[in-house]
């Protein structure tokens, strides 16, 4: 994701979300119950960027010294979340950051409860 002259790179299975400040009704038409709104346990927002996924090692590559760095390309298990998805997630698992006066949250994929995707 680009912000001006800066490039934001999301690492691993992390997700960058722009939170939805109007959380009474989601853009997808879901109503969040008052109990959830009061506790602020579950938040919602638009996925703006995703990491490449969890890194995995090649099972065919057995080395005697696995700690040595190699020049091989990493392989990833991709995230299920895509840019533009509307996600409901656990707020306590997120980290808040401000970029160009915009509030964003970064969280692991495991904190996402459900994703609403436009059916194209």
The domains of the chain, with CATH numbers, are 2-55+74-116 (2.30.33.40)
pLDDT one-digit tens code per residue, 60-119:
666 666 566 565 667 888 999 999 999 999 989 999 999 888 899 999 999 999 999 987
Q: Is 79 helix (H, G, I), strand (E, B) or coil?
A: coil
* Alpha-carbon gap, residue 29 to 26, rounded angstroms: 5
Rounded Cα distance, 81 and 49, in Å: 9
Mean pLDDT of 17-44: 68
Q: Are 21 and 87 in contact (CB under 8 A)?
A: no
What is the pLDDT, as a whole number, of residue 19? 92
């Amino acid at each position: 994701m680009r912000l001006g002259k800066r490039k934001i790179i999301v690492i691993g299975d992390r997700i960058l979300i722009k939170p939805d400040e109007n959380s009474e009704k989601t853009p997808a038409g879901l109503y969040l119950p008052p109990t959830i709104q009061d506790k602020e346990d579950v938040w919602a927002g638009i996925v703006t960027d995703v990491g490449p996924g969890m890194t995995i090692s090649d099972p065919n590559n057995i080395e005697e010294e696995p700690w040595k760095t190699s020049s091989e390309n990493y392989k990833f298990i991709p995230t299920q979340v895509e840019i533009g998805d509307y996600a409901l997630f656990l707020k306590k698992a997120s980290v808040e950051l401000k970029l160009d006066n915009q509030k964003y949250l970064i969280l692991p994929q495991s904190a996402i409860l459900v994703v609403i995707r436009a059916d194209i």
